[in-house]
Chain A
Amino acid sequence: MIQCLFLLSDAGDVILEKQWMGKRVERSICSWFWRQRSEKEDQDPPSVIASPTHYLLHIVREGVTFLACTASEMPPLLGIEFLCKVASVLENYLGGLNEDILKDNFVIVYEILDEMMDSGFPSTTEPSVLKEIIAPPNLVSRVLSVVTGTSSSLNAASPLATSSQVSWRASNVKHSNNEIYFDLVEEMDAVFNRDGFVVKCEAYGEIQATSRLSGMPELSLTFANTDILHDVNFHPCVRYRAWEADQMLSFIPPDGAFKLMSYRVKGLKNPPLFVRPQLSSGEGICRVNVLVGLRGDPGKPVDAIIVQLPWPPSVVSTNLSASVGTVTYSFSTKVSTWIIGRIPKDKSPCLSGTLQLEPGINRLEEFPTFLVGFKIQGTAVSGLKVDKMDIRNVEYRPYKGFRAVTRAASYEIRT
């Protein structure tokens, strides 16, 4: 079971350590871990590694490394999922995650970590229950503590939520404004081969819900086209039987923000952007010509277009210019970044110029993969449509909100 957790800053310093078991783990393990990391330069080591004394599990969030140690057999994924949970709970509590925020609130962090794990096994990890035991820091409590000199992050009232039949929701939730929001956040993964054909194109989506509803509401959410969904997984509150039978999400929501569902739609035919690179090299120089344009009409404007061009090591310097947007080149990483933004109506974006190769190399023999980023507000590229949302078991009529956004996650162009 997990013996301890270290939070490391991006420089490898220990921000804080939390030991859960009697057998303490020395801090020196962190420097061992950091050496492994720095040996492989920019490559992150595998999430599970065996050090001479312990098995180490780690994840990285916002530059903070969460490093857990164990000396005995345990499911490694349990450890990794726990770390993810810790990271998301802390982020949720503190409104962000970095070294300063953690130091700012280290007492609360300790209290949370102490609740989340008992004798090396995860204990209370549900954010809504945790919030009943440990109050999140907010401005009011902070003002109070500064002015009166007293502070207590612990709720004096006994938490009864844990005794309600629904473990993720307290029985006595009350809000003056009843509202629920659903955000469809989709990420597009696509790979184009060097001939411009689509190797694969799929969308991964999450329905992120924020619920501020009183009482014990029974919600049901139906979609117009569930048949396009290739994979799904659900928050524990979703009744799996109802999904199996009617393809309907039926659930009692936890209070606050939660991830209701994630899904994947495979085999999409309409990637919104095309990128046509041309690289021709000879006599120590490589001529580059990259065209970017819209493919079909996604319905909403495509924003924040950015193309990253990581050059192979044999490239010494670049001389590139763009018809739309700006190009910057980083000497240390050998990456050119072309920021386009939105494609203007009258001009088509084009990047052209030359690359200087290392002396002795005539032609480019390793071909880079370009990464594209974009964002489409107001549309889900997979085409998933929400049909209706019903609420039962409560008196009021809540405000319901839906939004959708699509981002490029791993949109790759091979050259």
Chain B
Amino acid sequence: MFSSTASSISKMSALVSGVGTDAAIYDDPQDADIPTLLDSRYDADKAQGLKRLIALMAQGQDVSTFFPQVVKGVASQSLEVKKLVYIYLVHYADKRPDEALLSINSFQRDLSDINPLVRAWALRAMSGIKVRAVGPLVIMAANKCARDPSPYVRRCAANAVSKIHSMGDEQHFDELVQLVSILLNDNYPGVAGAAAQAFISVCPERYSLLSSSFRKLCGLLYEADEWGQISLMDILMRYIVAKYGVVRDFSSVNVEFSCLQQAHEENGGDFYKADTRSSFPDERWEVRLMLSSTLSLLRSQNSAVVLQAAVIHWYFSPGNELSNIVKPLLFLLRSSLDARHVVLANILSFSKCEPSLFEAYFEDFFICSSDSQAIQALKLDILTNIVSDLSATQILQELEAYIRNPNSQLAADAVNSIGRCALRLSSTVAICTKGLLKLVVSRSSRDDDSLHNANDAEPKVGDSGREQYSPGRGRVVVQAVSSLRAIMQKHPAEQDQVILHLLRNLNHILEPTAREVVIWMIGEQAIARPALAEGIPVALRYLAKTFANESNGTKLQVLNCLAKIISSSQRCSSLKTVLLILQYILDLAACDLNYDVRDRAWILRVLLAGHLDAIKHHSSYDADPRLPEIIDAILLNIDQSKLDPGVLSKAANSMFLRQKSVPVLPSLSLQPSTFLPGSMSHMVQHKSPGYRPLPRERYTDLSPSSPTLPERQPELQSQSESTDSGSESFESEDDGNYTDDDLAVISDADGNTAKEKADLISLSDTELLKRDASPEDLSPSVDLESWLGPEEPSNSPEDFDKSSNSEVKKVLALDFTNGDGLEVHYGFMRGPSIFSSSMVCVRLFLHNKSSEPMHGIEINDGETAGRQTAFESGTARIIPPEAVALEPGEKTELNAHVDFRHNLSIVKVCLHCNSNKFPIKISPEPGVLLRPRKMSISVFLAAEARIAGMHRSSRRIYLHGISPGQCCKRIVAAARVSFIGSRDAEDVVLLFGAETLTGSLLCLISVALEPDAVHGTLTICCEDTLFGLALLNHLDKALTSLESIDS
């Protein structure tokens, strides 16, 4: 009596101290004997045990060993135990599918329970067990639940459909489609939403299913739960696109917006003509209906719903109604703070196409201090997209404010944006230029002193100046100078003032990159208006003084600048000064520590010989008698007789005096892409697995009788804008001038390869469309074989010998320093041994590198002397080759035949030569212990399904983007397997068959290549698990090694 009170008091005190029951379990799950608890007769104990398991699971421990005991718990009547068992099952079902099968019977019983929760959970658990054998049972269960009175159960049935489909069992495809169609017609909005998701995962192109229920689905849209709304909108949108096409797209990103808008209006007008002129619903009522039923969803609290609805309106709204999406999208930036990044990225894409939409709302894109760097970059990009004459003043003021921000990244980005605003709006050029110049000057000058004239400034670069340089300030100056340069190139009229300003402040601009840009601009100025270039000799004199202390990049630019001046300004008044400076700098550069600078100096010396020659011989330049002297000094070490001045000056002109294109100031965040807005691919800027572009073709015939769909055209998603940053493009222009044409060729070739790649990807895409083909159709794909080309591995051993012997991989067995001058390599031959089908032919490559002849070279087990016909070493049996003799320098090849007996351990043999013994080790590769086995794909699949569980090992591998053909070649080269064919599921799957030499165990290899060609999954099914694993490692290495064997 007393003790029981005491125990309850202690329990109560535990409660009062605030420790919940579960915390104790979480902290110390193993303080009780879990198996005993699980086996207990009482549900409370079972629940305790399960909670402890889940605690261990939460902490990342593998508790799958309890699986059999947990599965028994399914039979319990307690809801809580059932739920906990279910949580456990879902977590581990993929690890132990066979044991999960034990629970099937209880689930089937639960399907008839009166409690809808129990029925739903049973179905969820059943569909979570991904074993093909139970496929038909699960489909039966789903069928039953799809007609259940409780909508909760019906929704579970819809979710189960996607799960069954993900098992990859094609046999039941038609039944699944049937189920989807039943569920889509459900009257309960929540069920229809889940059914839409099932539709997306099972049969996303079966638009015929939607044509009958379209009106109803639109009606259910507002009442469905938010997640269902997203899926429903997705399928409705694709249906409409397939039927009518779109009004607006992202493809015309670079078109001037006014003409784009006009095109849209025309297009839109045409699109809705019938609507406005007739009162009865015409054939496009579906578009109208969808637009009107998604309008209210723009007011949803769920940002994903709003964005999806906005995407629909983007694609289908006529021009004047498009503005409906603007306010809801902008409101998301405030109402769903976590969604800001994604929403901004999508607004960026919209604003790129239709800047006018967001023009009036620029205030929403002003940066506040809580914005992260990614959000700041997106906002700035949007601001530069939407700047207009009306908003320019305010936007520029705002950008100016950001320059004062302590965050140097933001300041630099703001400067970049100012440059882009000026490039976009020519009315702002003057004010932007002025502001940027002021910035360069104020940020560069270290003191408050009055501006020095470049002429009398002390060269401060390199010594005391560098020490004070702060990275933040430097960034801003570099960005400002780059922006100025871009503006100048687009609007050369402003140039004079800017150049003079920059020249004057050159001694204050310390950041090397900024100096490079300024010097480059001086050179360009010299080309553009040689007559105006009064200040140039002054600048050059300053640069000559500082040359030795400049950075390497700046030195190169100084040299280029000189070359430009010499090539262009032959009538320059101060030619003598320029020439003297040229001589001085070339001499300095010739002794520079950096070889690039030295090389550049030598190249220029030769290239400029043509121009200098012309100056020398031109009669009108005799003003100064010292000119020829200076020129001779410059060309001192050059044998002028071998040079053709005409050719050289032409070459120099084509390099230095050509028209430079206006650089593109890089955008700060995402590049414009044609990915569907709102998709993951749009955010991560690459095609993510499972991405489906909008249907391109108009499927006019959507009647249920014709489910076959036309194939899509390959879609090229190349980036339209160059991504070069300002300084990079700047460098490549000057340094790579003479290869500009070649570059064009290269980029052209790149374009072609990109196209080819796109084609490869799209091949698998089109195959995807044929997914509803019957299983017999899974014959080897023609395309794949064409990739393999003429070298397609054939399976007859003779062919293997012929084609592959030359490429036998040699392994060093004995080095000549250890072998008294005898060097031995060995390699495994592809063909079967002549002695026995279970033997491998090992070829020994002998090379006598000594000056003595060798005789009596033979192999034995090392125990006995003399020739043996056959011997055992470890587990292997070896038939050695005949004894041979080698003259000095002679090479020979011998064949030994080894039966490794399916063992991967190293075989030790002994090589006799000149009565010396050398131990040799031969380590077999797993790929060698196989023999190719040809079979049909259906046999392969059947066999693969049989070899499951432990016998199957798979690994996700990184493929470096090799093509399926190359992949095939690598596998065939690395292992003696036969290529069976390929199967197109979601990924391209290559199949290879083989059997082990000893025991003839089947060994099935499949490589699933993901659409991005970067990753793949290598799966090996072999009844010898250890061997399978070794083979997996071996093939993994062969596939992922960077040195490509096929090149």
- Assess whether A78 is in contact with B301, with CB atoms less than 8 Å apart: no
Known contacts A76-B683, A410-B370; A365/B86 CB under 8 A: no
Partner of A133, one of B23, B117, B308, B343: B117
Digitize B237-251: 1 where CB-to-A-CB distance is under 8 Å, 0 elsewhere.
000000000000000
Which of A67-75, A176-184, A293-301 touches B?
A67-75
Interfacial residues of chain A within 47-106, with CB under 8 A of chain B in the complex = 47-48, 50, 53, 55, 59, 70-78, 80-84, 100, 103-106
User: Is A366 in contact with B301, judged by CB distance below 8 angstroms?
Assistant: no
Is B466 an interface residue, CB under 8 A from the partner?
no
Which residues does chain B contribute within 8 Å of A159, judged by CB atoms?
116-117, 152
A344 at the B interface (CB under 8 A) = no
A145 contact set on B, CB distance < 8 A: 21
Q: Looking across the interface, which residue of chain A has its beta carbon closest to that of B23?
A: A104
Q: Verify A17–B369 contact, CB threshold 8 A.
A: no
Known contacts A80-B304, A200-B366, A204-B334; is-contact A366 B472 (Cβ 8 Å): yes
Residues in A16-59 with C-beta less than 8 Å from chain B: 16-17, 19-20, 22-24, 27, 40, 43-48, 50, 53, 55, 59
Which A-chain residue is minimally distant from B369 (CB atoms)?
Answer: A369
Question: For the complex, is B678 an interface residue (Cβ under 8 Å from A)?
Answer: yes
How far, in angstroms, from A125 to B302 measured CA to CA in the complex? 12
A22 with B404, Cβ < 8 A, contacts A110-B58, A234-B301 known: no
Q: A77-B342, A167-B225, A232-B299 are in contact. Are A414 and B404 (CB under 8 A)?
A: yes
A199 to B680, CA, bound (A): 35
Please indicate the chain A residues that have their CB under 8 angstroms from the CB of B47 in the complex.
151-152
Chain A's closest residue to B224 (CB) is: A167
Rounded to whole angstroms, the CA-CA distance of A169 and B162 in the bound complex is 28
B159 and A123 within 8 A (CB): yes
Cβ A59 vs Cβ B338 within 8 A: yes
Report how far A52 CA is from B403 CA in the complex, Å.
Answer: 35
Complex-state Cα separation, A236 to B94, whole angstroms? 37
Which residue of B54, B60, B223, B334 contacts A264 across the interface (Cβ within 8 Å)?
B334
Residue of chain A at shortest CB distance from B129: A22
Min Cβ gap A206→B in Å is: 8
Identify A118's interface contact among B159, B339, B684, CB under 8 A. B159
Most buried by A among B155, B189, B227: B227
Q: Which of B467-520 contact A (CB under 8 A)?
A: 468, 472-473
Q: Is B1033 an interface residue (CB 8 A)?
A: no
Complex contact A103–B26 (CB within 8 A): yes
Instruction: Give the distance to chain B from A241, nearest Cβ to Cβ, in Å.
Output: 8
Q: How far does the alpha carbon of A48 sit from the alpha carbon of B225 in the complex, in Å?
A: 24
A243–B23 Cα distance when bound, in Å, is 47
Chain A minimum-CB-distance residue to B227: A122
Q: Are B80 and A154 in contact (CB under 8 A)?
A: yes
Stretch of A188-196, A215-223, A318-326 contacting B (4+ beta carbons < 8 Å): A188-196
- Is A158 engaged at the interface, CB distance under 8 Å to the other chain? yes
Give the most central of A122, A145, A311: most B CB within 10 Å. A122
A156 within 8 Å of B (CB atoms): yes
Closest A residue to B473 by CB, please name it: A365
Residue from the list B21, B231, B343, B447 in contact with A146, Cβ < 8 A: B21
Q: Is A353 an interface residue (CB 8 A)?
A: no
Given contacts A80-B338, A146-B14, contact A48 B368 (CB under 8 A): no
How far does the alpha carbon of A16 sit from the alpha carbon of B61 in the complex, in Å? 11
Whether A199 contacts B398 in the complex (CB less than 8 A), given A24-B94, A55-B684, A259-B301, comes out as yes
Q: Does A378 contact B (CB under 8 A)?
A: no
A81 with B226: CB separation less than 8 A: yes
A111 at the binding interface (Cβ < 8 Å): yes
Q: Tell whether, in the assembled complex, residue A75 and residue B404 are in contact, meaning their CB atoms are under 8 Å apart.
A: no
Closest CB-CB distance, A366 to chain B, in whole Å? 4
B790 contacts chain A at the CB level, 8 A cutoff: no
- List B contacts of A392 (CB < 8 A): none
Are A107 and B22 closer than 8 Å at their CB atoms? yes
Q: Is B303 an interface residue (CB 8 A)?
A: yes
Interface centre among A104, A107, A108 (most CB of B within 10 A): A107
Are B58 and A78 in contact, CB atoms less than 8 angstroms apart? Answer: no
CB distance B336 to A75 under 8 Å? no
Nearest CB of chain A from residue B961's CB, rounded to whole Å = 14
In whole angstroms, how far apart are the Cα atoms of A231 and B306 in the complex? 13
A118, A232, A262: the one contacting B156 at CB < 8 Å is: A118
**Contacting residue for B330 out of A123, A191, A231, A311, CB 8 A:** A231
A75 and B79: CB pair below 8 A? no
Are A367 and B405 in contact, CB atoms less than 8 angstroms apart?
yes
Bound complex: CA A264 to CA B231 (Å): 29
Asked if residues B26 and A77 are in contact (CB atoms below 8 Å), the reply is: no
Q: Does B130 contact A (CB under 8 A)?
A: yes
Closest to B340 in A: A47
| Inter-subunit contact A167/B223 (CB<8 Å) | yes
> Which positions 248-291 of chain A face chain B at CB distance < 8 Å?
259, 262, 264, 266
A274 to B11, CA, bound (A): 57
Q: Which of B274-326 contact A (CB under 8 A)?
A: 296, 299-304, 306-308
Whether B54 and A236, one on each chain, are in contact in the complex, defined by CB atoms closer than 8 angstroms, is: no
A151–B48 CA distance with the chains assembled, in angstroms:
9
Partner of A233, one of B83, B190, B328, B370: B328
Q: Select which of A16, A72, A158, A313 is within 8 A of B689 by beta carbon.
A: A72
Chain B hits for A15, CB < 8 A: 58
* Distance in angstroms between the alpha carbons of A365 and B443 in the assembled complex: 8
For chain A, residues 137 to 185, give those with C-beta under 8 angstroms from any C-beta of chain B.
137, 142-143, 145-147, 149-154, 156, 158-159, 162-163, 167
Complex contacts, B690 vs chain A, CB 8 Å: 72-73
* Residues of A close to B124: CB separation below 8 A: 118
Cα A241 to Cα B51 with chains together (Å): 48
- A231 close to B368 (CB less than 8 A): no
- Residues in B with CB closer than 8 Å to A20 are 90
In the complex, residue of chain A having the shortest beta-carbon distance to the beta carbon of B397: A193
Tell me if A84 and B338 are in contact (CB < 8 A): yes
1/0 contact trace for B1-23 toward A, CB 8 Å?
Answer: 00000001001101100011111
Q: Which residues of B contact A200 (CB under 8 A)?
A: 363, 366
Q: Is the CB of A77 within 8 A of B339?
A: yes
B304 and A75 contacting across the interface, CB-CB below 8 Å? yes
With both beta carbons as reference points, the residue of chain B lying nearest to A109 in the complex is identified as B58
**Residues of A close to B956: CB separation below 8 A:** 53
Confirm or deny: B749 has a beta carbon within 8 angstroms of a beta carbon on chain A.
no
Q: Which of B223, B296, B334 has the most CB of A within 10 A?
A: B334
Residue of A nearest to B447 (CB): A362
Please name all residues of chain B whose beta carbon is closer than 8 Å to the beta carbon of A27 when the two chains form the complex.
60
Contact partners of A55 in chain B: CB under 8 A: 680, 684, 688
Task: Provide the bound-state CA to CA distance between A191 and B684, in Å.
Answer: 32
Contact A146 B405 (CB under 8 A): no
Please tell me if B127 contacts chain A, counting CB pairs below 8 Å. yes
User: When the two chains form their complex, are residues A104 and B11 in contact, meaning their CB atoms are under 8 A apart?
Assistant: no
Q: Are A73 and B679 in contact (CB under 8 A)?
A: yes
B436 CB to nearest A CB, Å: 17
What are 24 A-B pairs with beta-carbon distances under 8 A?
A17-B60, A20-B90, A22-B93, A24-B91, A59-B338, A72-B688, A75-B679, A76-B680, A77-B304, A77-B307, A82-B227, A106-B58, A114-B86, A119-B128, A121-B194, A154-B83, A159-B117, A163-B149, A189-B368, A199-B366, A200-B363, A264-B334, A266-B363, A367-B406
Known: A48-B680, A103-B23, A163-B149. 18 other contacts (CB 8 A): A47-B338, A48-B683, A55-B684, A78-B227, A80-B303, A104-B23, A110-B58, A118-B156, A119-B128, A152-B47, A162-B150, A193-B397, A199-B363, A231-B328, A232-B331, A233-B335, A236-B300, A369-B369
Residues of B within 8 A of A (CB): 8, 11-12, 14-15, 19-23, 25-27, 44, 47, 51, 54-55, 57-60, 78-80, 83-84, 86-87, 90-91, 93-95, 114-117, 124, 127-128, 130, 149-152, 155-156, 159-160, 162-163, 166, 189-190, 194, 197, 222-223, 225-227, 230-231, 296, 299-304, 306-308, 327-328, 330-331, 334-336, 338-339, 341-343, 363, 366, 368-370, 372-374, 397-398, 401, 404-406, 408, 411, 443, 447-448, 468, 472-473, 678-681, 683-684, 686, 688-692, 956
Give 4 nearest A-B pairs by CB, closest first.
A16-B58, A231-B331, A77-B304, A312-B406
